[in-house]
């Protein structure tokens, strides 16, 4: 069944997804890519047009705005990120709307060999008659997290157009660089000014998440010994061979993303680059508990030490840096934002479901920095690849979730 929000959500998502906003982990700037400003400025303009207050883009690339309160209540924040993941092509996205889904395979105009099927994406089988949005086959869609952007924008437009709806002040933030772990600048909590907040960056309707991975990033730099290959015997120490040995020495059957699930953590090699003389490997380390995360970092350091000991002419440096921590550590001390969201969810006729996120959100960092920020569903599925999809009707449920949260805040 179509809702009052379906057309607006469809138009917004198609418009936003067509804008390339891929982030770049190698860039030192904030945002990491200039192209993210293309959508940030669009959102700044649209927020101004619908009547939001205090609309601005910060020096660190976050769009901020206020929906003035119509009743007493805490200041509630709502966030989504504009960037898309750098792991897959996001240039030239062509969103496709598949109306009234018939239950069969969805095909892709630009990649005829691809199939989106209920057999491999079982939740799709529950979406009969709904409107499904995908890309055209050669890019990701970018519903992660432009679905969240569209949901918040639609809810904001509705609240501003209907001032009779009671709600406290609402603060909106659209962040860059979430996909590379740099979405929350240290200045954001103060500039945001929310008592608590919600990221709209989740999956199935009903999901309200207050637990995420804890995360570190690791860089292993290997310096070998360069020599002309024609006269290399006894001289050359190939950095790429040592890099491969580091990767191969790590557990392959127990600690990789493809072999873990649920509450199991992992060590994931994300990329390797370099030459025979010098090489660099990047890893992400994930675990739900601090001790488990520290153990994975220690394991990586031991492997590097063992490989280095076998080739004393080489140098292997392992640098581990914190990224974010499990937001449960702080939210479990005050579950008010979570319980408010659960109540708002039940008003939709959905039973709230809280699962541990096998990833992180801007809410992970914000919660750690003093702004409790659980995560709310958007409907997005199969993210970070060409089979990414979202149901317009699921997004409409998320809009009503946002409205229910706003109204519930006025009564607290």
Cβ atoms 69, 169 nearer than 8 A: yes
Cβ atoms 188, 366 nearer than 8 A: yes
Query: Is 248 marked as binding a ligand?
Result: no
Q: How far apart are CA 345 and CA 400, in angstroms?
A: 9
Provide CB contacts within 8 A for 351, sequence distance 6+.
206, 345
Query: Is 179 marked as binding a ligand?
Result: yes
Q: How far apart are CA 350 and CA 344, in angstroms?
A: 9
How far, rounded to the nearest angstrom, does the alpha carbon of residue 101 sit from its chain's CA centroid?
A: 26
Domain residue extents for the chain: 6-212+326-410, 214-324
What token pair was written down for 255?
Answer: 């600690």
Q: How far apart are CA 189 and CA 194, in angstroms?
A: 8
Query: Is 177 marked as binding a ligand?
Result: no
Cβ atoms 386, 106 nearer than 8 A: no
Q: How far apart are CA 203 and CA 331, in angstroms?
A: 20
H or E element, residue 13: helix 6-17
H or E element, residue 198: strand 196-202
In the sheet with 278-287, reading across from the earlier edge strand, the strands are 266-274, 278-287, 214-223, 315-324
What is the model's pLDDT at position 87? 85
Q: Give 322's strand partners.
A: 216
Query: Is 81 marked as binding a ligand?
Result: yes
* Nearest by Cα to 166 from 80, 67, 78, 47: 67
What is the model's pLDDT at position 3? 76
What is the model's pLDDT at position 368? 95
What is the model's pLDDT at position 410? 84
Instruction: State pTM to two decimals.
Output: 0.92
Query: Is 144 marked as binding a ligand?
Result: yes
What token pair was written down for 333?
Answer: 């001390």
The CATH number of 214-324, from 3.40.640.10, 3.30.565.10, 3.90.1150.10, 3.30.70.360, is 3.30.70.360
Please give the CATH superfamily to which domain 6-212+326-410 belongs.
Answer: Zn peptidases (3.40.630.10)
* Nearest by Cα to 246 from 295, 319, 318, 304: 304
Q: How far apart are CA 14 and CA 19, in angstroms?
A: 9
Can the peptide bond before residue 145 be classed as cis, meaning omega within 30 degrees of 0? yes
Per-residue pLDDT of the chain (412 residues; tens, 9 = 90+): 567 899 999 999 999 999 999 999 989 999 999 999 999 999 999 999 999 999 999 999 999 999 999 999 999 999 999 999 998 999 999 999 999 999 999 999 999 999 999 999 999 999 999 999 999 999 999 999 999 999 999 999 999 999 999 999 999 999 999 999 899 999 999 999 999 999 999 999 999 999 999 999 999 999 999 999 999 999 999 999 999 999 999 999 999 999 999 999 999 999 999 999 999 999 999 999 999 999 999 999 999 999 999 999 999 999 999 999 999 999 999 999 999 999 999 999 999 999 899 988 999 999 999 999 999 999 999 999 999 999 999 999 999 999 999 999 886 6
Q: DSSP label at 357?
A: B
Residues designated as active site: 83, 178
How far apart are the two ends of the chain, measured CA to CA in Å?
32
H or E element, residue 160: helix 143-161
């Amino acid at each position: 069944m179509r809702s009052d929000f379906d057309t607006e959500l469809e138009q917004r998502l198609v418009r936003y997804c067509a804008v390339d906003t891929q982030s770049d982990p190698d860039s030192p700037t904030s945002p990491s890519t200039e192209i993210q400003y293309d959508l940030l400025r669009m959102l700044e303009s649209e927020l101004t047009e619908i009547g939001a207050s205090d609309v601005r883009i910060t020096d660190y690339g976050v769009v901020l705005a206020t929906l003035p309160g119509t009743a007493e209540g805490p200041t509630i924040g709502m966030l989504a990120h504009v960037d898309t993941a750098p792991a897959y092509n996001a240039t030239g996205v062509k969103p496709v709307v598949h109306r009234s889904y018939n239950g069969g395979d969805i095909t892709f105009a630009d990649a005829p060999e691809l199939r989106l099927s209920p057999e491999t994406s079982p939740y799709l089988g529950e979406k009969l008659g709904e409107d499904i949005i995908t890309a055209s086959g050669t890019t990701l869609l970018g519903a992660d997290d432009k679905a969240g952007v569209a949901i918040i924008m639609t809810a904001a437009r509705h609240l501003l157009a209907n001032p009779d709806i009671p709600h406290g002040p609402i603060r909106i933030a659209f962040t860059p660089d979430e996909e590379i772990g740099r979405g929350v600048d240290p200045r954001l909590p103060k500039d945001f000014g929310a008592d608590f907040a919600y990221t709209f960056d989740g999956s199935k309707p009903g999901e309200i998440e207050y637990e995420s991975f804890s995360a570190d990033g690791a860089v292993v730099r290997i310096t070998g010994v360069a020599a002309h290959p024609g006269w290399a015997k006894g001289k050359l120490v190939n950095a790429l061979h040592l890099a491969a040995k580091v990767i191969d020495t790590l557990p392959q059957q127990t600690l990789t993303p493809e072999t873990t699930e649920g509450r199991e953590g992992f060590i994931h090699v994300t990329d390797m680059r370099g030459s025979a003389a010098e090489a660099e490997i990047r890893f992400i380390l994930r675990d739900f508990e601090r001790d488990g995360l520290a153990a994975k970092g220690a394991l990586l350091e031991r492997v590097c030490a063992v490989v280095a000991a076998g080739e004393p002419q080489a140098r292997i440096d392992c640098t581990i840096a914190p990224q974010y921590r499990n937001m449960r550590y702080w939210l479990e001390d005050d579950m008010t934002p979570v319980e408010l969201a659960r109540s708002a969810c039940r008003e939709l006729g959905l039973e709230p479901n809280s699962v541990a996120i096998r990833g992180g959100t801007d809410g992970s960092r914000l919660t750690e920095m003093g702004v409790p920020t659980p995560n709310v569903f958007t409907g997005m599925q199969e993210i970070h690849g060409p089979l990414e999809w979202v149901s317009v009707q699921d997004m409409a449920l998320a809009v009503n979730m946002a409205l229910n949260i706003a109204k519930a805040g006025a009564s607290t």
